[in-house]
Amino acid sequence: MTKLLIFLLLTAMISVIHVSVTRIEERKLPLKKEATRYFLSVGGGIVILALIVQLLSMSFQ
Amino acid sequence: MKQKSLPYLAVAAWLLPGSGHLLSDRKKTGLTILVVVNLFWICGMLLSEFEAGSRLFHPWLFWTGAGCGGTAVVSFFDPAVQHSLSGMQSVRHYQDVPRWNDLGVLLVCIAGLLNVLCLLDVIDLRINSSRRSKEKR
């Protein structure tokens, strides 16, 4: 659980920096909203992948 | 406010992450980068006991961390070289390796790669000054 929290914290920090330096001027969303969307898609995607890998490894044991 | 020259901004942003944005008058972004990237870098260096900045221990990963100028400075002095085993010596205790070594190296790599993005943004802002005037500071 601690590892998951650390991972989410790191992802949130990276999301804020990444979005704030790679925004395209035409985008109309505010930084906060865009960073949240980025965080949810990246963090969520990795957590889902991890769950799939975990389930696969459990099924083969 | 007078614009700083591009090489000056680039070197400043490389040596101290966030300083390029601060000098470009983007204080909010600059402060965020200054806090987050430097926090990653300092934590990484301390956790890996400066191994993350050693070209001897990490000849390839070093280059990802080199996105932050501090890594290059650390590699010049290489304080982690004392951990290397010479001749017939071998690791006797696993505890000889810092406990959070891998996490530390990873943090320095993330800091380096993020700073490359920040550096590119500073260069882009300086070159396309029209973008700069449109964006909120």
Task: List pLDDT tens digits, range B89-101.
Answer: 565 555 567 788 8
Give the residue from A14, A19, A21 with the most B CB atoms within 10 Å of its CB, the best one to mutate.
A21
Q: Do A16 and B32 touch (CB under 8 A)?
A: yes
**B25 Cβ contact list (under 8 Å, min separation 6):** B1, B137
Give the pLDDT mean for B117-128: 89
Could you report the predicted ipTM of this complex, rounded to two decimals?
0.72
Q: What is the pTM of this model?
A: 0.81
Distance of CA B27 to the CA centre of its chain: 20
- At what angle are helices B69-77 and B27-47 packed, to 10 degrees? 30
Q: Do A10 and B121 touch (CB under 8 A)?
A: no
Residues of A in Cβ contact (< 8 Å) with B120: 21
* Distance between CA atoms of residues B50 and B90, nearest Å: 20
Q: Do A17 and B134 touch (CB under 8 A)?
A: no
Burial level of B83, CB count in 10 A (0-12/13-18/19+)? middle
Interface membership of A5 toward B (CB under 8 Å): no
Q: Do A22 and B134 touch (CB under 8 A)?
A: no
Q: Identify the closest residue of chain B to A14 by CA–CA distance.
A: B114
Instruction: State which amino acid sits at residue B88.
Output: M
Rg of chain A over CA atoms, in angstroms?
A: 15
Residues of A in Cβ contact (< 8 Å) with B40: 13
In percent, how much of chain B has pLDDT > 90?
42
Interval B68-77: pLDDT, tens:
999 999 888 8
Helix (H) or strand (E) holding B41: helix B27-47
